[in-house]
Amino acid sequence: MAQDPPAQDAHGTTGGRRSESGFTVEPVYGPGDLAAGWDPAERLGEPGAYPYTRGIHPTMYTTRPWTMRQYAGFGTAAESNARYRQLIAHGTTGLSVAFDLPTQMGHDSDSPLAHGEVGKVGVAVDSVEDMRALFDGIPLGEVSTSMTINAPAALLLLLYQLVAEEQGVPAARLTGTVQNDVLKEYIARGTYIFPPKPSLRLVADTFAYCAAEIPKWNTISISGYHMAEAGATPVQEIAFTLANGIAYVRTALAAGMDVDAFAPRLSFFFVARTTLLEEIAKFRAARRIWARVMREEFGARDPRSLMLRFHTQTAGVQLTAQQPEVNLVRVAVQALAAVLGGTQSLHTNAFDEAIALPTEKAARLALRTQQVLAHETDATATVDPFAGSYAMECLTDQVEAGAVELMRRIEDMGGAVAAIEAGFQKSGIEHSAYRVAKETDSGERVVVGVNRYRLDTEEPYEPLRVDPAIEERQARRLARLRAERDGAAVTERLARLKRAAAGPDNVLPPMREALRARATVGEVCGALREVWGEYVPTEAF
């Protein structure tokens, strides 16, 4: 069985507190804690210049804040549309769509496999009609939309394009991100559909399609967030995420694409924990590693190809159902870590998410947290305010060294896919999660309100609940859709899609035409399942 990397202690002492990644955080730092010959020009550079340690833009937030995205989606498309309108009215500058589990797994709402999950953890989207309702009254040429969807990412992006087309918005004007990161599903989340090889082919086809059709769209958001939520340390989070990024780049190159044709549209997605200093160091280290990999391994020449652009979400796994108002404090600290680490966009969790879907008030308070940071603090007054701090530069170097060593081990196994098949990443994350659970149970790790500073009785809280009748309503919508559409046209276009999937052609154009004919998400995914099969995980021993 694959083992965790050894704990790293750059000082060889036990006098400091242990970081989340296992190295010692010293009580005091000075010049002697930096590596011999530490060169600020090499390790830091200038903001907006290689190696991008200090940020990807010269001015960062001094001229404009990050994009304030709020992740939302529940119930029906109409209900989620109402929440999006509320968020926009409250000052959200980017939308972020959560899809329910059946949609994420490529099943329609009336599938027996969808029973009990329709609309529960996100919005149910079965067809172009649902996508139309989801963005009703929202001008898609003026908003930036992020969609957290992976295995069927291409489908949801094409549905979005079709709705924009109906609004008269050309695809070239659309901006946003589709997560499209299926490799981390095999590691941490499990919402995969197809085996790795055709899944990577679908990712590469999406890269090529967007380069030609939707050039401003970010074609992938390579995610460490979900691995962190499963228990990955900061070092594991960036190592496993960047290793997956390398696999996607290699896949696109093998498909004949030029690195500078697609790399500028790659983006990443990380968590922000309450361990403020290590999180800031993590973001700085990740930028530096990626810039070096893209320049030295892949020969990228466009500066945009070297820039690690990322979205951040505060740590859902650190929210507590006990004394939920305390989560407001946690989220504020986590958001500050993301800002000081140089994120390009940010979602702040609502304080009640450990209990249920966020209420409107809780979602508004989460957004207000970002607005206070942007407009009432001086965190945006200067670029990378921790630059040159002995503590920060040492922590950044330690996180970088740990991540690079893990990435080397993955390369020695044959790359990210081979390591996934061997269970390396999954095993490492499980070991880290077990350690945190033991520390919490023993009281060594303090969680306010859970194992210390508890209340004898918790105050009652009324959560937002999804109407269970949504499943029946979605089934009626699907029945009406199938009765009204041209069934022969749907069958013929699904057949075209299967022929493309069986051959070398890009599958997105025939997929788009099937969706235009009102084929459902489940039908399109079903057609691809017939050709590519489904992934069945195996346990590593």
**Confidence band for 452, pLDDT divided at 50, 70 and 90:** very high
pLDDT of 179 over the 50 cut: yes
Contact 362, 352 (CB under 8 A): yes
* Averaged pLDDT for residues 255-279: 96
Helix, coil or strand: residue 267: strand
- What pLDDT, on a 0 to 100 scale, did the predictor assign at position 72? 81
* Averaged pLDDT for residues 448-471: 86
Sheet with 266-272, strands from edge to edge, namely 217-218, 175-178, 144-148, 94-98, 67-72, 345-347, 310-314, 266-272, 220-223
Q: Locate 177 and state its tokens.
A: 């991100």
Tell me the sheet residues that pair with 347.
Answer: 313
Helix, coil or strand: residue 476: helix
* Averaged pLDDT for residues 166-192: 95
Tell me the sheet residues that pair with 98.
Answer: 148
pLDDT of 309 over the 70 cut: yes
- What pLDDT, on a 0 to 100 scale, did the predictor assign at position 246? 98
User: Strand 217-218 and strand 220-223: pairing?
Assistant: unpaired
How many CA atoms lie less than 13 Å away from 27 in the CB half-sphere? 4
- The DSSP symbol for 359 reads P
- Cβ burial of 299 (10 Å; 0-12, 13-18, 19+) is exposed
- What pLDDT, on a 0 to 100 scale, did the predictor assign at position 539? 59
* Averaged pLDDT for residues 156-165: 98
**Type of residue found at 355:** I
**Confidence band for 74, pLDDT divided at 50, 70 and 90:** confident
Residue 43: C-alpha distances to residues 37, 53, 388, 397, 525 (Å): 11, 7, 10, 9, 46
- What pLDDT, on a 0 to 100 scale, did the predictor assign at position 18? 93
- What pLDDT, on a 0 to 100 scale, did the predictor assign at position 24? 94
- Percent pLDDT > 70 in the chain is 96
- Residue 49's CB is within 10 A of a number of other CB atoms, namely 16
| CA atoms 149, 408, 418, 298: torsion sign | positive
Closest by CA position to 529, among listed 107, 83, 32: 107
The helix (H) or strand (E) run that includes residue 442 is: helix 424-442
Helix, coil or strand: residue 13: coil
- Report the alpha-carbon distance of residue 286 to residue 237 in Å, rounded: 10
Q: Locate 52 and state its tokens.
A: 């991008």
pLDDT of 1 over the 70 cut: no
* Averaged pLDDT for residues 522-535: 98
Q: Of 41-45, 427-431, 493-497, 517-521, where does mean pLDDT reach its minimum?
A: 41-45
Q: What is the crossing angle of helices 153-166 and 521-532, to 10°?
A: 140
- Cβ burial of 509 (10 Å; 0-12, 13-18, 19+) is middle
Q: Locate 69 and state its tokens.
A: 């995205």
- Cβ burial of 349 (10 Å; 0-12, 13-18, 19+) is buried
CA 307 to chain centre: 17
Q: Which residue segments constitute the domains of the chain, with CATH numbers given?
A: 49-442 (3.20.20.240)
- Report the alpha-carbon distance of residue 182 to residue 202 in Å, rounded: 10
Helix, coil or strand: residue 159: helix
* Averaged pLDDT for residues 163-186: 96
Q: Locate 393 and state its tokens.
A: 């530069």
Contact 83, 361 (CB under 8 A): no
- Report the alpha-carbon distance of residue 237 to residue 429 in Å, rounded: 9
Q: Between residues 5 and 411, which one has the greater pLDDT?
A: 411
- Cβ burial of 290 (10 Å; 0-12, 13-18, 19+) is buried
pLDDT of 8 over the 70 cut: no
Contact 109, 475 (CB under 8 A): yes
pLDDT digit string (tens) for 331-377?
999 999 999 999 999 999 999 999 988 888 999 999 999 999 999 99
Q: Of 409-413, 453-457, 503-507, where does mean pLDDT reach its minimum?
A: 453-457
* Average confidence score pLDDT of the chain: 93
pLDDT digit string (tens) for 120-139?
889 999 999 999 999 999 99
Contact 179, 149 (CB under 8 A): yes
What's the CA dihedral at 437, 150, 187, 251 to 10 degrees? -150
Reported pTM: 0.90
The helix (H) or strand (E) run that includes residue 67 is: strand 67-72
**Confidence band for 71, pLDDT divided at 50, 70 and 90:** confident
- The DSSP symbol for 17 reads E
pLDDT of 176 over the 80 cut: yes
